[in-house]
Amino acid sequence: MNPDRQSEAYDEGPPIDDHPRRPLLMAIGPVLQRVEVFKEQAKDFYFKVLLSQYRCPACGGPLEMTGASQAACRACGEQLDPTLTFQISLCCAAPLARRQLHYACARCHGIVPSRFLFDERLFDADYFRERMAAHRQFQQRRREEALLRLAEFRSGELIPVEPPDLEAIPGLLADLDSFIGSGQASDNQWEAEQDQPFDLQCYRAHLLDQLKWSRRSFSSLSAITDPGRRDRAYRFAALLFMEQDGTVALAQNGPADIWVERVAHEAD
């Protein structure tokens, strides 16, 4: 054989599918299958021997296992729990009671292993169904009680019998002007501002030019015209429209100011 060809054949090696390199791992599957089959046969033989000494309480017919701690009569079809029917506790020689995940002595409440369970765990579906229903009812009662407590502290309906008079409270108008930061505006300035039309696009461009990409407070944004209540209201209204279309984001900044932040988009 040519040495070069022999070296190439050695480098390529045999196909993995034709020559498995781990025969023990490849053969473990059939072994596990045979163990499962033997386990089922041993379980079936165990229950046949165990039930051969008992008869159906209704007709005296032979019994067979139909589930985890569940048996049925082959003659009349009677369904029963063989642990509760035939087994008693060794501690008190008393009947057994079915608990959440086990059986217990009905007298001392000690746990009693069931002879009619092979390697299963007891699962009482009715118990969990009842517990879940009770939990839902408890949560519903808590919600209803919370609503009743809130209703007790709810104020009654206020029906105004006459128009509100702001002058009836001394200093209220001055306090409101101070709250919105426009107490310095004169009456002549307010009358002049009333003739100023609201141009949303103009205010939008003006505000975007100031915002850039850093967060700013509303009070730091300059006015287009002379500072006053009308221009301040126009700037705030423009920001509300801009927040609705996703151009800016507004957040509270203390009791008398707000933060204004420009929202970045993919197009930016």
First to last CA, the chain: 71
Question: At 27, phi and psi to the nearest 5?
Answer: -95, -5
CA distance 215 to 40: 71
Residues 104-145 pLDDT 10s: 898 998 888 888 887 656 655 666 677 788 888 888 888 888
DSSP label of 256: S
Q: What is the pLDDT of residue 24?
A: 74
Name which of 146-150, 179-183, 224-228 the model is least confident about.
179-183
Q: Which helix (H) or strand (E) holds 263?
A: none
The pLDDT value recorded for residue 1 is 46
Confidence grade of residue 8 (pLDDT, cut at 50, 70, 90): very low
Pick one of 2.40.50.140, 1.10.10.580, 1.10.10.10, 1.10.10.1100 as the CATH number of 197-268: 1.10.10.580
Q: Is the pTM of this model over 0.85?
A: no
Q: How many CB atoms lie within 10 A of CB 66?
A: 10
| Dist. CA 55–CA 63, nearest whole Å | 6
pLDDT at site 185: 47
Quick one: pLDDT band at residue 9, thresholds 50, 70, 90? very low
Count, residues in the chain: 268
Q: Edge-to-edge, what's the strand order for the sheet holding 248-252?
A: 216-217, 258-262, 248-252
Query: Which pLDDT score is estimated for 199?
Result: 81
Percent of the chain with pLDDT over 90: 3
- Quickly count: other Cβ atoms within 10 Å of residue 202's Cβ: 13
The domains of the chain are located at 41-112, 197-268
Q: Is the pLDDT of residue 262 over 80?
A: yes
Chain centroid to CA 207: how far? 41
Percent helix, strand, coil in the chain, to 5, is 45, 10, 45
**The pLDDT of residue 162 is above 80:** no
Q: How confident is the model at residue 19 (pLDDT cuts 50, 70, 90)?
A: very low
Angle of helix 229-244 relative to helix 200-211, nearest 10 degrees, comes to 80
Does residue 229 sit in helix, strand or coil?
Answer: helix
- Please state the φ and ψ torsions of residue 72, each to the nearest 5 degrees: -140, 150
Q: Which among 90, 54, 101 is positioned nearest to 74, based on CA atoms?
A: 54
pLDDT digits (tens, 9 = 90+) for 202-220: 888 888 888 877 788 888 8
